[in-house]
Structure 1
Amino acid sequence: MASQGLLTPDLPLELQRDVQRKLGRCLLRLQQYEILLKALVAHGDIAGPPAGLQAVQDVQVACAQKKTLGALVGMLTERHLTSVEVDDSAEEPQGDSGMWFRFRFQVGLDASQQQDTKAALKELVELRNELVHHFLQRFNIWEHQGCIDADAYLDASFETIDGHYLTLRGWAQGMEEARALMASFMNTATFEDLLVNGIAPDGSVDWLASGAVRCLREAEARFATEGWTQLNTATTWIRAQHPDQHPQRYGCGSWRQVIHESRQFEIRRTMNKEQGRGEVWYRSRQEEASMQGKRSS
């Protein structure tokens, strides 16, 4: 056997160069695959409060950059390739009154497809390791037959790698389309109602996140007397300071109905003897006031 590093006389230099070129082509496509995979796992599952989503994404991007191909493939198969519908409700924060968003991209596969895909991805990682770490141990490209064998192996390897890349690119394009649709929705009045006022597209109200409750609490902080706030005083101030906040926006006929439907406040009625009329007062329920204090501290 000729020693490595010295070409045998009958070995065309072009043959060895073809092997080198095809090895480079495989490694470049693997790097393209890895870059795309990092983007998918970093952006394909993001959750948190609206104000914190960018920070969450930045952390995930930085984390993905440090992962090996094997680790990235593991994240892909565990998080994004599924044969069952995943219930996200158990992963949402418990007892948190703030708005919580989650974007998760998943590829639906039947059980057989899922197993086949996992096996194929495992083989891709092994192929990558073979090309990077063991190629020259396997093929003596300083001999004619070694170059012939390596050339055929690299052709087959590129076909495998490219197939995985095209599949992943299709998944990534699907994710980007979903993200674009979400971004489009976030620019609508419907989303603003959901984010700012707690009003879902179906008309249901998340009262804890609603602008109406937020305004009532703000008025309470300004005008409370011995812990109670006169409702007329609060609503007069709300109409002046937040004219866009009114009961009808939340499907209610009055602020008293808002207080009743939200279940965030206690209410009492008193008689103003000097003016000879009844008055309605409200205050935050004590457990809610305690929670509000903890969140603001």
Structure 2
Amino acid sequence: MKSEVATNHAPELKSAVDEVLRKIGRNMLLFQQLEGLLKYIIANGQFSGYSSELKRIIEKRTSTVNKQTMGQLVGQYIEQTTSQTSNEQSDEEELKEAHFAFNFHIETDEAYAAERKESLAKLVSERNELIHHFLPKFDSTSMSSCEEVDELLEKQSKTIRREIENVKAIAKALMDGRKALAETLTSKSVAMFPLTVVEF
């Protein structure tokens, strides 16, 4: 198979193949980092419930989000962060205890939302290609193939890193919002409010 690395290749070719493999691993980790940021924002960006139920509600939401594919995460991320929909309790409903609602979104226009969706969707496609279809297309016996793939992987990494920085800024704003909300609660409520502080 052309994807197998022969041990008797010239040192230059072996070095080129090793570098390609290293960059494949690096890009996969970058995709995982982006996926983790998306999960954090989706799981923590919206919730609503009584104080005694918040921990269970967010734990359930987090569990559900962790099972989503990256394609699903991108769709939810765009919809959630650009939506103006509120999840606050109706004034007509009688409250049996303290009720909290948190809804995080960014103010933007349709053009920006469409651009973000297209950019992230392209990365989802590239991620799936890298994981599921890359190896059969890589000829490890060809120096030209190594050079071509190396260039593509390097370009891809720059795109992922740029998107990570974009999403990281949103995650930081979300964290600041949750901290501000937590500070308005009593010490007893804070204990029930599952604020997760994550360093990115």
Relative contact order (C-alpha < 8 Å, sep 6+): which is higher?
2
Structure 2 unaligned blocks of 5 or more: 190-200
Alignment correspondent of 1:95: 93
Q: Does the 8 A contact of 1:8 with 1:143 survive in 2?
A: no
Please tell me the residue identity of whatever aligns with 2:175. E
Structure 1 residue 10 displacement after superposition: 7.5
Over 3 Å counting, the alpha-carbon distance change for 1:10 and 1:176 in structure 2 is closer
Structure 1 residue 145 displacement after superposition: 0.9
- Render the CA deviation track for 1:10-56: whole Å, top value 9, x for unaligned: 85211111101111110011111112211111111111112111110
Alignment correspondent of 2:193: none
Q: CA–CA distance in 2 between the matches of 1:122 and 1:139?
A: 24
Q: Does the 8 A contact of 1:26 with 1:157 survive in 2?
A: yes
Over 3 Å counting, the alpha-carbon distance change for 1:52 and 1:69 in structure 2 is same
In the alignment, structure 1 residue 32 sits paired with structure 2 residue 30: no
User: Please, what TM-score do these two structures have when normalized by structure 2?
Assistant: 0.84
Structure 1 residue 8 displacement after superposition: 4.7
Q: CA–CA distance in 1 between the matches of 2:136 and 2:92?
A: 55
Q: Does the 8 A contact of 2:35 with 2:70 survive in 1?
A: yes
Q: CA–CA distance in 1 between the matches of 2:9 and 2:178?
A: 56
Alignment correspondent of 2:181: 182
- Render the CA deviation track for 1:228-263: whole Å, top value 9, x for unaligned: xxxxxxxxxxxxxxxxxxxxxxxxxxxxxxxxxxxx
In the alignment, structure 1 residue 50 sits paired with structure 2 residue 51: yes
How many residues are treated as equivalent by the alignment?
186
List aligned pairs for 1:1-297, cutoff 5 A. 3-5=2-4, 6=6, 8-9=9-10, 11-82=12-83, 85-88=84-87, 92=90, 95-98=93-96, 99-187=98-186
Q: CA–CA distance in 1 between the matches of 2:56 and 2:38?
A: 20
Rg comparison, structure with higher value: 1
Q: CA–CA distance in 2 between the matches of 1:54 and 1:80?
A: 22
- Render the CA deviation track for 1:123-167: whole Å, top value 9, x for unaligned: 111011011111113322331111001100000110111111111
Identity %: 26
CA RMSD for the aligned pairs?
A: 2.4
Over 3 Å counting, the alpha-carbon distance change for 1:100 and 1:187 in structure 2 is closer
Q: Does the 8 A contact of 2:48 with 2:54 survive in 1?
A: yes
Q: Report the secondary structure of 1:103's partner residue.
A: strand
User: Please, what TM-score do these two structures have when normalized by structure 1?
Assistant: 0.58
Structure 1 unaligned blocks of 5 or more: 192-297
